[in-house]
C-alpha cells in the first residue's frame, strides 16, 4: 500500500520541477544587448523580465500554479549576448517567435 501512495507523489514531484533545472534545451549568441533581447521577448510573449544581476535577464512563462514552463536566460557576453532557452514541455513555447529577437 505504501508503494501505491508513493507513485502519485513521485509523479506530482516531476510535474513541479521548474524549467531551469538541468542543462538548457538550446543556447544562442547574438550581437544585440541583453536588455534589448529581453524587451523584445517580453513584447512577443507578453511576459515580464527580471534582471537577476547586472547584464543577466530572465524571462519565464509560468503555469497557473506558478511553475516555470519556459525560461529564457539572457546574459551579457563581450559586446553581445548569450541566450539560454529551456522548456519543461514542448508545447506552445513561443520559441520560434522569440528567436526573431536575436
* CATH code, domain with 95: 3.30.310
The pLDDT value recorded for residue 2 is: 56
Is 88 a member of any domain? Answer: yes
In terms of residue numbers, what domain contains 93? Answer: 18-99
pTM as predicted = 0.72
The pLDDT value recorded for residue 67 is: 87
SS (H, E, C) 2-32: HHHHHHHHHHHHHHCCCCCCCCCCEEEEECC
Taking 70 as the pLDDT cut, the residues of the chain under it are 1-21
The pLDDT value recorded for residue 3 is: 54
User: Closest Cα partner for 68 from 22, 14, 16, 27?
Assistant: 16
Is 35 a member of any domain? Answer: yes
Amino acid at each position: 500500500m505504501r508503494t501505491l501512495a508513493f507513485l502519485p507523489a513521485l509523479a506530482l514531484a516531476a510535474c513541479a520541477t521548474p524549467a531551469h533545472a538541468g542543462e538548457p534545451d538550446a543556447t544562442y549568441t547574438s550581437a544585440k544587448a541583453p536588455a534589448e533581447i529581453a524587451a523584445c521577448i517580453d513584447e512577443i510573449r507578453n511576459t515580464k523580465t527580471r534582471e537577476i544581476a547586472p547584464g543577466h535577464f530572465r524571462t519565464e512563462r509560468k503555469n497557473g500554479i506558478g511553475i516555470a514552463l519556459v525560461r529564457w536566460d539572457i546574459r551579457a557576453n563581450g559586446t553581445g549576448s548569450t541566450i539560454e532557452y529551456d522548456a519543461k514541455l514542448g508545447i506552445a513555447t513561443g520559441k520560434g517567435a522569440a528567436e526573431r529577437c536575436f
